[in-house]
Chains A and B, each alone.
Chain A
Amino acid sequence: MKGLITFSEVPSTSVVRWQKINDFLQSVDLDVSEDVELFIVAKQDDHIVACAGLSGRVLKNIAIDETIRGKGIALRLMSELLKVAYREKRSDLFLFTKPIYQEMFEDCGFKYIEQSHHEVVLMENSNNIEHHKEALRAHKKEGKHIGSIVINANPFTLGHRHLVEQACLNSDWVHLFVVKEDASFFSFKDRYHLIQEGLKHIANLTIYEGSDYIISKATFPTYFIKDKCHIDSLYTELDLNIFRNHLAPQLGITHRFVGEEPICVVTNEYNQQMKKILSTPSNYPSIEVIEIPRIEYQGEPISASRVRRLMKESDLEEISHLVPSPTYHIIEKMLSNIIEEK
């Protein structure tokens, strides 16, 4: 006779119990994701039989021992995990799973958003993407060439400005999305403000705050660890599928403009995949990717990473040749604050 199944919460500070979860996940061919903050663990006779992790607003590492599957355990496990997530004030949640488990998560209130490689399915519990799409539709502009750009602009440089200017010159209208995730050196608020200030002179342009559905931690976690030059084609495809199948159709987007990427491996890989994925025949209109060559200063391409490097060296003189004046002023202020602190 097997004992009762009990549930408990395990924070990442609990090293010994964390190790046991790791062992359990290994037994079902999974690894503990580095960024999981806490686990819900189901135990029977002192053995772990199921677990589910929470990382920000993403549910991860959900696994159930085969011997007890199909006994309502999944729904109990998810109830416990959702309780914890809502307690932490995270109500709009995402999860990644294999296609065969999609139905099970639908029973828990999650809806399919998009898939990648036919291996991974992204789901959410809020249906926010439909609300988001409706909001986008209100901004649709007529025209034959409708361009789009997605930028992080960390910070906004003359290179970004050139990219947007070229896109607007070659399009009837351009929709510009600013990555919203606050995971960069410059805050979203500053990045967005500098973009607005630096592009005031352009008339055929709409600037949007990004969302969970454009390069966010929820849908594209590996983008934010690119310093390691780690690229995951699975997430790249997911991000681009969402763009093509969900967002672009609302605005009638025909082109996507990107800066040529001579230095960063991740961004270059992303550009190359983008060309392929956005033009593969499918039920949704294909989108042509146009790479705009980078502008240079003293033989070296202008990029945000170059500006950040020069900030470390406090080289304001060179920075002044790379960024528009609103960006320059904010950097000047940041640097003088640092000196005062010293």
Chain B
Amino acid sequence: MNTIIEPAHAGTLESSDAFVRVIPIEEEGIVIELESSVCEIYGDAIHALVLETAQAMKMNKIRLIVQDKGALDYVIKARVQTAILRACGKTEPDWSTL
């Protein structure tokens, strides 16, 4: 399991993008707080995508705050991955897990 060393963020608040913050927490697991301009229709799908992305990177004890402005799936995924990498102090992902 990977834990992060510092809070980090990725993305912007502009339309069709997502702003992702990642913060270390004491408790076990992955906490996701999602706000989306398309929450009613895609909220569950985005939540699942964020969780899946964090799990694929074997993250634990993190809180992910996602402000989605109607971003496409791969944008959200990329923003989450980047935020987590920055929080871990890494510049390259483990490509084999993606």
Contact residues of A with B, CB < 8 Å?
A: 72, 75-76, 78-79, 82-83, 86, 89, 91, 107-109, 127
- Residue of A at shortest CB range from B69? A75
Residues of A within 8 A of B6 (CB): 89
Given contacts A86-B7, A86-B8, contact A91 B23 (CB under 8 A): yes
How far in angstroms is the closest Cβ of chain B from A70? 13
Stretch at the interface among B11-19, B42-50, B52-60, B72-80: B11-19
C-alpha gap A82/B19 in the complex (Å)? 10
Residues of B within 8 A of A79 (CB): 12-14, 19
Bitwise interface map of B from 1 to 43 toward A, beta carbon under 8 Å scored 1, else 0 = 0000011110011110001010100000000010100000000
Report if B88 contacts A (CB, 8 A).
no
Report if B82 contacts A (CB, 8 A).
no
Residues of A within 8 A of B65 (CB): 109
Q: How many residues of B contact A (CB 8 A)?
A: 16
Instruction: Among B9, B13, B23, point to the contact of A108 (Cβ < 8 A).
Output: B13
Residues of A within 8 A of B67 (CB): 107-109
Residues of B within 8 A of A89 (CB): 6-7
- What are 11 A-B contacts with C-beta separation under 8 Å? A76-B13, A76-B14, A79-B13, A79-B19, A86-B8, A91-B7, A91-B21, A107-B67, A109-B13, A109-B65, A127-B33
- Residue of B at shortest CB range from A83? B9
Residues of A within 8 A of B7 (CB): 86, 89, 91
C-alpha gap A119/B65 in the complex (Å)? 29
A-B contact sample (16 more), CB < 8 A, given A76-B13, A79-B12: A75-B12, A75-B13, A75-B14, A75-B69, A78-B13, A79-B13, A79-B14, A82-B9, A83-B9, A86-B7, A91-B9, A91-B23, A107-B67, A108-B67, A109-B19, A127-B33
Residues of B within 8 A of A109 (CB): 13, 19, 35, 65, 67
How far in angstroms is the closest Cβ of chain B from A72? 6
How far in angstroms is the closest Cβ of chain A from B95? 26
Report, nearest first, the 6 A-B pairs whose CB atoms are least far apart. A79-B12, A75-B13, A91-B7, A109-B67, A79-B13, A86-B9
